[in-house]
Amino acid sequence: MLRKIISINTDKCNGCGLCVTSCHEGALGIVHGKARLLRDNFCDGLGDCLAECPTGALSFIEREAPVYDAEAVAASQQSTWHAFPIQLKLVASNAPQFAECDLLVAADCTAFARDDFKREFTAGKAVVIGCPKLDGVDYAAKLAQIVRANKVHSVTVTRMEAPCCGGLVRMVQEGIAHSGREVPLAVVTITPEGARKATPSVALATQMKKALVVIDMQNDFISGALGSAAARAIVPRVVRKLKIHSEMGSRIIFTRDTHTPDYLNTQEGMSLPVVHCVKDTPGWRIADEIATAVCLDDCQIFDKGGFGSVELAQYLRDEVYEEIELLGLVSSICVVSNALLIKAYLPEAKLSVDASCTAGITEEDYQASLCVLKMCQIQLA
């Protein structure tokens, strides 16, 4: 029949997902970072979603579409909240509630952050909960099994506006990617005050495995033995970048330059006779501003005795990361060394260095390092 139905301008859509959670009928989803009308017969034509769109991407049109099916909507919204267990560590991947379901993956705290959480988020969904910080489990493989084996229709993640919750988003993204299925993903961020916050579209744009590699943001390179004004200047930018990638669910990886007390007797020490980053000293530690911007327990950390880390490059290759961004210190030594190693191990990965979040020993060294990176086909962000 010819009737009024929602239309989405994908050029304007930023993938924030606010329309998805405001559609009480479950007609909308996020596919490849853009809102999509998933079920014509679930759209009632009333337009609750229109007011939530921050970019004006939603509008009404008249076209041929199935009649709104209130009974089908009601049937789909029978909550499976009563299913037990719902903790990701405990629930079986073939539990009956997962069969062809819309799946809600909720960070533990979110259910207590909003009084209307159950009504707003659980209707018509199979629910699992987890905490990436306290559970001590990477749920990516289990989520892949759930999505693949049960033909899951869609996945929604509710997370808190906290660094550790970025790990849960990452696990879900990796789980969907490993499932081999294209499944719509929406991410809803809840503030400590209980407000719902739009999630950056980049978090939803792709299921590509992403990693942010933070090179040697340690006290000795910022304010200690080898510190500099240029290094101190990038710290706020690195903090912002960490928070963005945490929201995106990227895997965040740190390296630590790590030396022994006999550093001056090593090849590096004889060429650079400045004792720095001796293990377990204050100068060796990741700077407080950096460490508190994320949940370090959810991050991979590689200690390296030289400029580059072969173990880091092998890890990124073995885990098949497809998009890798580097930043940190020092651009002309350890950043370049690790970038070239990663390029050698993953020649087809999308590899970049954020030039605004790195610094050299001198401005000349910094500019020279950027030239090396560009010549080796490593993108500068």
Q: Domain holding 218: CATH number?
A: 3.40.50.850
Is 367 a domain residue? yes
Residue 52 and residue 122 share a domain = no
Contact 349, 322 (CB under 8 A): yes
What pLDDT does residue 203 have?
A: 39
Residue 227 and residue 349 share a domain = yes
Residue 239 and residue 136 share a domain = no
What pLDDT does residue 199 have?
A: 58
Is 353 a domain residue? yes
**Got the DSSP string for 141-175?**
HHHHHHHHHHT--EEEEEEESSGGGHHHHHHHHHH
What pLDDT does residue 202 have?
A: 36
Last residue of a domain, one of 202, 219, 239: 202
Domain that holds residue 287: 210-380
Residue 376 and residue 234 share a domain = yes
Q: Dihedral, CA atoms, 121, 204, 345, 138, nearest 10 degrees?
A: -10
Is 231 a domain residue? yes
Last residue of a domain, one of 173, 202, 231: 202
Which residues are within 8 A (CB) of 381 and not within 5 positions of it... i.e. 6 or more apart? 325, 352, 353, 354, 355, 356
C-alpha 319: how far from chain center: 15
Last residue of a domain, one of 148, 177, 202: 202
336-345 vs 310-318: helix crossing angle, rounded to 10: 40
Residue 96 and residue 160 share a domain = yes
Residue 89 and residue 41 share a domain = no
Q: Diameter of the chain by CA atoms?
A: 82
Q: Dihedral, CA atoms, 315, 343, 216, 272, nearest 10 degrees?
A: 120
* Overall domain count for the chain: 3
C-alpha 270: how far from chain center: 41
Residue 141 and residue 93 share a domain = yes
Contact 125, 102 (CB under 8 A): yes
Q: What is the chain's alpha carbon radius of gyration, rounded to the nearest angstrom?
A: 23
> Model pTM greater than 0.95?
no
Token digits of residue 331: 């651009």
Residue 343 and residue 215 share a domain = yes
3-state percent breakdown (helix, strand, coil) of the chain, nearest 5: 35, 25, 40
What pLDDT does residue 290 have?
A: 96
What pLDDT does residue 208 have?
A: 62
Only one residue has tokens 């370049």, namely: 336
DSSP class of 211: E
Distance CA 143, CA 138 (A): 10
Burial class, 315, CB count within 10 angstroms (exposed 0-12 / middle 13-18 / buried 19+): middle
Residue 373 and residue 305 share a domain = yes
Contact 46, 25 (CB under 8 A): no
Q: What CATH number is attached to the domain comprising 21?
A: 3.30.70.20
**pLDDT tens, residue order, the chain (381 aa):** 899 999 999 899 987 778 887 887 888 877 767 888 988 999 998 888 898 898 999 999 999 999 999 888 877 666 545 678 999 999 999 999 999 899 999 999 998 998 888 878 887 889 999 998 888 888 988 999 999 999 898 899 999 988 888 889 888 988 888 887 888 888 888 988 888 875 544 333 345 678 999 999 999 999 999 999 999 999 999 999 998 887 777 889 999 999 999 999 999 999 999 999 999 999 999 999 999 998 887 789 999 999 999 999 999 998 888 899 999 999 999 999 999 999 999 999 999 999 999 999 999 999 999 999 999 999 998
Residue 348 and residue 249 share a domain = yes
Is 69 a domain residue? no
Residue 42 and residue 83 share a domain = no
Is 375 a domain residue? yes
Contact 23, 49 (CB under 8 A): yes
Distance CA 119, CA 86 (A): 17
Q: What CATH number is attached to the domain comprising 130?
A: 3.40.50
Is 73 a domain residue? no
Residue 197 and residue 218 share a domain = no
Is 57 a domain residue? yes
Q: Residue type at 107?
A: A
Strands (E) in the chain, as ranges, are: 2-8, 28-31, 34-37, 58-64, 102-107, 125-130, 154-160, 185-190, 196-197, 210-215, 251-257, 300-304, 323-329, 350-359, 379-380
Is 362 a domain residue? yes
